[in-house]
Chain A
Amino acid sequence: MSRGGFISVAVAVGWRNVHNYFTNPAFFLPGLLFPLFFFTAFAGGLSRVDSVPGFDFEAGYTAFVYGFVLLQASAFGGIFTGFSVARDFESGFSRRLMLAAPRRGAIVVGYWIAALTRAGFNVMVITVVALVSGLEIVGNGVDLVGLYSLALLVNAAAMLFGSGVAMRLRTMQAAPAMQVPTFLILFLAPVWVPYDLLTGWVQAAASVNPLTLVLGAGRGFIAGDPTKVLPAFAVVAGLATLSVLWARGGLRSAERVA
């Protein structure tokens, strides 16, 4: 298959999923509403928490919550695309697609285009809402590139993880197997308060959670005080690489039954 063929398959799969996403509220709303609810509930309802002794995030509580919700929206954009992969297998569409596309890697790239578009749209809406409700980003342009690059890599890792599960199990009943680990890794990080203010088992979990580092770096970019940037990028790139291998294994598994 030529490079043009690869690209045309990827674009066609991506376009189909983006079209389905924007024309069906049942697909469109959950991925957008959940991060928005979290943002409004916690940036609005918990803003007083920044008065707790030891809370030392200069950019304010709205920016602190935005750092988390940005990663959450990126991860959900990827995971919800995993649901689309499962749905396509369940309906039989994926089998026909695999017969028509000799280099099946293009199909996965197509789904990633869709995941990126979904996450990009969600992040844009959340950012506008955050700016309207008083978000102040202290970081400069370079910091913003760093922040959104982290979000991009989280989106890719989540999408590839979700697709790997979907291509192995090939049913929508696999949705919890994609959603629950993502939910846990996100919420067992310092979501509402800095790491030092966590207590009990959540602090123990956060200390070994790779996302703690990523979240800290993201918040550092927002505050204009980048911290542990290289380790954070190394962690998220590592997660993305593992997810590539996981998704490739899923694709091989799906090819065997196609």
Chain B
Amino acid sequence: MSRSTLAIQVGMLARRSVVRTLRQPAMVIPALTFPLLLLAINSSGLDSATRLPGFPSDSYFEFALAIAFVQGALFSANSAGTNVSNDVETGFLNRLSLTPLRRVALLLGQLAGILALGLIQAVTFLGVGLVFGAGIKAGVGGALVIVAMSLLISLAFGCLGAFVALRTGSGEAVQGVFPLLFAALFLSSMSLPRDLIETDWFRTIADWNPVSYMLEGIRSLVITGWDSEALALGFACAGGLAIVTLAATSSALRTRMVRT
């Protein structure tokens, strides 16, 4: 099969995936509004935490802005998982397996919807942040890196959702995994910097939780500027998770297509 044929296949499936995601307000609206709602409530409710000695910013809004990007990415997992499980449940994947479509085209096509939603989220959260007074210390270049990291995190969690959907073929299972992903966010350095977390067991979990480093990567660009260590750790965690979940999704897709 030629490269151009593959590109056509990817393009068609990507278009379907993007249109399907954007046509479902039930998927797009909560993915935008819930992170913003939590940001609005947290930033006002916890502003007094900035008075703690060693707190890295005098604005909790700037500190909490990174949460919206990662929380939005968790919605990508739900959205991608729900779409893929729907394809399994309705027999769409069965029908595709009878065509000469390449597996990689199917995978890349499905991921396009996740990335489209991730891009809308990242631009929206960044815009809201700027409108409400958050300064991006790393400047315009930093804002672009925030969008890039946010897309990588969306890809990682989106692949995780797609993996669960392909393994189980059930939308209910995808919904069941969603609270566990939220646990990963809550058990991170979401609310306070790790060195200010007082409870030992919580700090240990936050130290081992890759979500902490994703948050800190984005947060560093907002409140510190260019921090190479935070960025390297953030990209390593997001990229590493994306590679692992992409490989798992590819393997699950192969099994699913053989089954059908």
Contacts and interface: CB of A to CB of B under 8 A. Distances in A.
Interface stretch (B8-16, B80-88, B182-190): B182-190
Interface stretch (B38-46, B214-222, B243-251): B38-46
Interface in B177-204: 179, 182-183, 186-187, 189-192, 196-199, 201-202
A42 B46 CA distance: 11
Contacts of B124: none
Nearest to B46: A192
A148 B179 CA distance: 27
B49 interface: yes
Interface in B49-87: 49, 51-52
Contact of B179 (A34, A40, A202, A203): A34
A238 to B, nearest CB: 25
B41 A200 contact: no
A54 B182 CA distance: 31
B172 A26 contact: yes
Contacts of B51: 52-53
Contact of B41 (A25, A193, A202): A202
Interface in A186-224: 187-188, 190-193, 197-203
Nearest to A184: B37
Contacts of A52: 48-49, 51-52
A202 B44 contact: yes
Interface residues of B, number: 30
B207 interface: no
A40 to B, nearest CB: 7
Contacts of A26: 172, 175-176
A44 interface: yes
A99 interface: no
B198 A47 contact: yes
Contacts of B201: 44
Given A45-B206, A47-B199, A48-B198, A193 B48 contact: yes
B48 A45 contact: no
Interface residues of A, number: 36
A187 B191 CA distance: 16
Contacts of B44: 198-203
Contacts of A187: 41, 45
Nearest to B199: A44
A193 B198 CA distance: 16
A199 B61 CA distance: 12
Contacts of B186: 37-38, 40-41, 45
A131 interface: no
A192 B46 CA distance: 7
Nearest to A38: B186
Q: What does DSSP make chain A's interface, helix, strand, loop or mixed?
A: helix
Contacts of B199: 43-45, 47
A147 B201 CA distance: 29
A120 B237 CA distance: 40
B45 A44 contact: no
A49 interface: yes
A51 interface: yes
A5 interface: no
Q: Which of A26, A48, A55 has the most CB atoms of chain B within a 10 A radius of its CB?
A: A48
A33 interface: yes
Contacts of A191: 41, 45
Interface in A44-67: 44-49, 51-55
A29 interface: yes
Nearest to B197: A45
A92 interface: no
A33 to B, nearest CB: 5
A30 interface: yes
Given A37-B179, A199-B47, A200-B47, 14 more contacts: A26-B172, A34-B179, A34-B182, A45-B190, A45-B192, A46-B46, A46-B191, A47-B198, A49-B46, A49-B49, A190-B45, A192-B46, A198-B45, A203-B44
Contacts of B179: 29-30, 33-34, 37
A98 to B, nearest CB: 28
A202 B206 contact: no
Contact of B191 (A29, A42, A188, A200): A42
Contacts of A41: 186-187, 190-191
B46 A40 contact: no
A199 B183 CA distance: 27
Given A37-B186, A45-B190, A51 B202 contact: no
A193 B45 contact: yes
A51 B199 CA distance: 13
B246 to A, nearest CB: 27
A54 B48 contact: yes
